Every structure is written in structure tokens, then in C-alpha cells.
Amino acid sequence: MVWETSPSLALVSLICRLLWALTPVGMLWVGKLIVDLVAGAVSVKSGVPDGLWPLLGLEMALAVAGDLLMRAAGLAESLLGDRFTHYVGVRLMRHAATLDLASFEDPVFYDRLERARRQSAARLGMLSQIAGLLQSILTLLSVSAVIVSFSWWFLPILIVALVPVFWGETRFAMLAYSLLYRWTPERRELDYLRLLGASVSTAKEVKLFGLGDFLVRRTEALFARYYAENRRLAVQKAVTSAALNVLPVAGYYGAYAVILYRTASGELTLGDLTFLTGAFVRSRNALENVFSTLTNVSEQALFVQDLFAFFESKPTIEGPGLFAPRPIQSGFVFENVTFGYLNAAEPVLRDVSFRIEPGERIALIGENGAGKTTLIKLITRLYDPTAGRVLLDGVDLREYDARSLRSEIGVIFQDYVKYDMLLKENIGVGRIESLDDFERVVEAAEKSLASEVAGQLPKQYEAMLGRRFEGGADLSMGQWQKIALARAYMRDAQVLVLDEPTSSLDARAEFEVFERFAELTRGKMAILISHRFSTVRMADRILVLGGGRIEEAGTHEELLARRGRYAELFELQAAGYR
């Protein structure tokens, strides 16, 4: 993935790191030559020895080269890190767009997505750490090769001293990941509580209901439980690491004592002492870097596996198939459809069968939870039936390409999105390939009466909506709803679906919207979900849902005459206006 992000920057980083890794042993060796040269001149009192200044110049050149290589590697990795962050973020977005809606409603999947999203950016240090690991290994090998030429047993002492430290660090890295993994739902709840307590969308109710102290107490209680467990692990790690660190310190000073003894006894020169002391420090630091980097990489790899687990998740609905028919010939048919959400105790729909003819306007009514919106999700193939099938022109919806099918259906759900974008973009996203078609945007706005909203804003269609960005206009719910309706009209689809489309509109605006709706859907297939009987009576046929089944079907007059469930609900609503 790093290589795909930018091969040139990755290559520059590796080359600089490899060359930088070799400069320590070169500087140590030149330093040894300088010390031996000066010591020899001092012993015979011959003055400044020949070759001293070239050696000093060479050491200085190596120091400058090392600094330049370090800065070049840092620059390349900084730029690479920025590009890699963007690359991973875009890849997450692209993959998420292919997954089923059911995936995002599964808590286990959502926790994995949250860990992938939160940790992918936080773990970018892996990039430079792996490059640094290669550099430390090369430095260790080059320095150790010279150390072994003096005394072969120096290197085993270092390794044996540091292995326990590596084991301890790795063990606690696993425990830290385990803690974060287990606490992912609670950490998500913490984020949610903090959002509730400090968000423009919740500020009114928090103040009116006096929820501030309640949310703070709940947040503090949840954090206290997490902090107690995290603190216990941190203390254990600190104590264990301090105890294990005694071994490498003892190993280093033991070897240092031997080097001093051999130098004092004349076995080693002062240059050898300088070189070995420096090389020993370098090798010890390199070994520590190798082990600590391996520990960090192994810890971060645990988090990165969440990222790859997310990328490995596959959709069950998306995929190639037949193009949706245009025009639709015989319409939709539900054949004994049953559907239940993941982990739900009971199915939402049970053995539902009905059909929608081309050009027919259907209204779905029923109490909350009756399955009205679920039927729309099945028609748009956001879900597939648990049992039974949905046909379009006699072909199972599973046989169609999901994108092609959805392009023929314009939907505005009750929980539509309020995009913090320009007004024209809020409408244009209804058919993204026509986002820059301003005439089409204006036409859709006029159909939904969102043109009136545009007329009230100083910049009209160029106005920024929402409070997230500077200068954004904060609209009423009714105004937002007109814009969402324009989004559905923007699609110019064969099927228009409105789920509670006028719930936030006043009586006059509702009348105007549905007067236009009746006109605009003439000859088109339309599905309307509403609790207002003044709205649904305009439909050609009304389906009454209850208990996961279709209890009644017919026109407004037919259903009233039956004196059944529809008539009961109609009388209850009418009584409220008397």
C-alpha cells in the first residue's frame, strides 16, 4: 500500500535510510584512526602527524552526509505519510461505499470499522518505523561485524540481555490491544456522549431538559471504569519494564569493564578503546531500536489487522447483474416476502405478497414499526428478503445490478441527510453525474418548492447550508425537507418513493407539495408513506400494514366502506381535527 501511494518517495526514503545506516561505523572507524594517530604522535612528541587533517575532514564530511541523509529521509517520509493518510482514507471510503447497508447496522462490523478508521491514521508511524528498523538492522550488522573481529562474545551478551526486554514489551503490546479491542463499544459510547453534550444539533434539548449534568456524570462514570483498567495495565508495564531493563544495563557495563581492562593491560590501543566503546554504545542502541521498533510494529500490526479485516469484508448485495429495465413493463411483485433484521427477535415482514403496476400510485400506511420503510429498502435492494422474492418485470431483483436498479428509483427517506454543502450541491447529489447541470438543479428545486428557499438566501443556489462552515445558513426543518424533495425530483427516475415527505411542512406548504406531486407523478410509478390521511387518499391504491402483514388494500373510499383497520385509524385522526 505504501509503494502504491508513491513509489518514488518510498524509494528515496529507503535509499537514504540505507546510506545513513552505514555512516556510524564509518565515523567510528575514522575516529579510531584519528585517536591512534594522535596518541602515536604524543608518545614520540613528533608534533602534528601527517594525515590528521584529511581524516578530520573525512569525519566531518560523514557527519554532514549523515545529517543530510537523515533530513532527506524525514522529508520523504513526511510527504509519504501525508499521501498515505489520504490514500487510506479514500480507500476506506471507496470500500465502505460497496458494502451492504446491513453491515453498517451490525455492531461487530461497526466496531471494526471504527477501529480501522481511528487507528489507520494514528498508526502511520509504522511507515517510518519499518524503514528505521531496516536502518537499525544494517547499522547493527556493520558495527557488530567489527566488534566481533575484536571479541566474538560481545554480541551474544547484548542479545541475551535484551531478549527479555523484547518479550516484556511485546506481551504488554498484546494486552494493550486487547484492552482497546474489548473497550471499542464503550469508547464509541464515550464519543457519543461527548457529542451529545457539546453539539449544535442537541444543544436545545440538553438545555431545556437540563441534561448537562446527567451526560457529564455518565461520561465520567464510563471513563472512570476504562481509566481504572488502563491504569492497572500501565503500572504493570512500567514495573515489569524497569525490572527487565536491569539486564541490558548490566551486560553493557560488564562488557565495558572488559574493554577497559584489556586497554589498560596493553592488548588494545586507545583508538581501539574509543572505537569499541563507541561501537558498543552504537550496537546497544541499535539493538534496543530493533527490539523496541519490532515491539511497536507488532503492536501496530494488531491495529492494522483491523484495517485489512475491514478491506476483506465483502458485500452480498452489490455486484454485476442485469441492467434495470427502461421503461418498466409490468412493475414490482412481492411474492411471499419475509424479512427480519440482524439479531431481531421477530421478522418485520411476514409472507407479504402484492404488486405495483407501472403508472400506479401506491400509499403505505400503518403504525410505527409496521414495516413500511422496510418495504422500500427491499424495493431499492438495500436489503434482500430473508424468504420469498421481489420481482421487477418478472425478474428477481437479485439478478439486477444494484446501481442500475437504484438509478431508476428516486427516494427521499424520513431521515434524509442534511449536507453541509452549497444549496445547489444539496440538490445535485440526487443524480451525482448531473451535479454541474444547473438548469436541472433549478428545475428540480421548482418542482419541490425549494426554489422559494433559494429565493430567501442572499447567494441563492450558491449559499452554503448548515452551521459547520463559516457563512452557512441554518434552515428550518420544512425548508430542509423541500431541498430533500428536490433531490428526489433531480433523479428523474421511473419510480418515485416519498417516505413521510411533508412531516415538517405546514398545511399550506403540504397542500402545494402534493398538488405538484400528483401532477409530476402522473404516468409514473409512485410509492408514498405517510401518517396523514389527507395525503394518502390521493393514491390509486392504499396498503395497510400491521403485524408484518398487509391487512387491507384498496382505495380510500373502499377501505372506509369496509369499516376495518384503515377506517379506525382514519376516524382517530379525523377526531383530532373536530
Q: Which residues pair with 399 in a beta bridge?
A: none
20 with 73: CB under 8 angstroms? yes
**Whole-number pLDDT of residue 502:** 59
Contact by Cβ (8 Å): 392, 405: yes
Residues 6+ apart with CB under 8 A from 9: 76, 77, 79, 80, 83
The chain-wide mean pLDDT, for the chain, equals 79
pLDDT band for position 319 (cuts 50, 70, 90) = low
Are the C-beta atoms of 306 and 116 separated by less than 8 Å? Answer: yes
> What are residue 120's phi and psi, to 5 degrees?
-60, -40
Q: Which residues pair with 545 in a beta bridge?
A: 550
pLDDT band at 513 (very low <50, low <70, confident <90, very high): low
In the structure, what pLDDT confidence band is assigned to residue 310 with cuts at 50, 70 and 90? confident
Residue with the bigger pLDDT between 463 and 321: it is 463
Residues 324, 495 contacting (CB under 8 angstroms): no
pLDDT for the residue 577 = 55
Residue 471 binned pLDDT confidence (cut-offs 50, 70, 90):
confident
Arithmetic mean of pLDDT, 164-190: 75
Provide mean pLDDT across the span 148-171. Answer: 70
Each residue of 523-558: pLDDT tens digit? 778 888 877 766 777 778 888 888 888 888 888 888
Q: With 70 as the cut, is the pLDDT of residue 448 above it?
A: yes
For a pLDDT cut of 90, what percent of the chain falls above it? Answer: 1
Average of pLDDT values for 404-413? 82
Whether this model's pTM surpasses 0.75: no
For the chain, domains (ranges, CATH) are: 2-312 (1.20.1560.10), 324-408+496-578 (3.40.50.300), 417-492 (no CATH)
Q: How confident is the model at residue 302 (pLDDT cuts 50, 70, 90)?
A: low
Which is nearest to 129 in space by CA: 244, 11, 247, 294?
294
pLDDT band at 207 (very low <50, low <70, confident <90, very high): low
